[in-house]
């Protein structure tokens, strides 16, 4: 019996669309639970929206650094073999291992 290989990869845009369809219901569920626990007054607008944006951006950077740290620690790869960047076309930050994994 011959084994055939299929390419199951998807584009970054397709991945982002899938994430949105999965994430939106989860966010709604989390907000509903938060409101049940803390009430609507806890959602008052922040006095410092720039701080909120800074914290989100910092979280994205830390998230990608965790990917890189995983490759360094568990994949035993050097930091120089990891490329960090941002793909503007799909508005996606990334950490990419530039050599084979194992």
The Cβ of residue 77 has, within 10 Å, a number of other Cβ atoms equal to 19
Instruction: Report yes or no on whether pTM surpasses 0.75.
Output: no
Question: Quick one: 60 and 81 in the same domain?
Answer: yes
pLDDT digits (tens, 9 = 90+) for 86-101: 988 878 899 998 987 6
Q: How confident is the model at residue 4 (pLDDT cuts 50, 70, 90)?
A: confident
Question: Within a domain: residue 75?
Answer: yes
Q: Do both 54 and 98 map to the same domain?
A: yes
Q: How many domains are contained in the chain?
A: 2
Domain residues for 35? 12-42
Query: Do 96 and 53 fall into the same domain?
Result: yes
Pair (36, 17) in one structural domain: yes
Long-range CB contacts (< 8 A, 24+ apart) of 80-88?
87/12
Encode pLDDT of 26-49 as tens digits. 999 998 999 999 888 877 777 788
Question: Residue 86's CB: how many other CB atoms inside 10 A?
Answer: 11
Q: Do 59 and 35 belong together in one domain?
A: no
Sign of CA dihedral 20, 26, 32, 34: negative
Q: Kindly report the number of other CB atoms within 10 A of residue 21's CB atom.
A: 8
């Amino acid at each position: 019996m011959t084994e055939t290989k299929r390419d199951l990869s998807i584009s970054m845009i397709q991945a982002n669309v899938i994430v949105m369809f999965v994430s939106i219901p989860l966010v709604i569920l989390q907000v509903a639970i938060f409101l049940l626990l803390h009430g609507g007054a806890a959602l008052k607008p922040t006095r410092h929206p720039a701080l909120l944006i800074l914290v989100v951006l910092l979280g994205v950077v830390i998230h990608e650094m965790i990917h890189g740290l995983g490759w360094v620690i568990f994949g035993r790869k050097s930091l120089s073999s990891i490329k960090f960047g941002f793909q503007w076309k799909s508005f996606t930050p990334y950490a990419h291992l530039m050599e084979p994994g194992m």
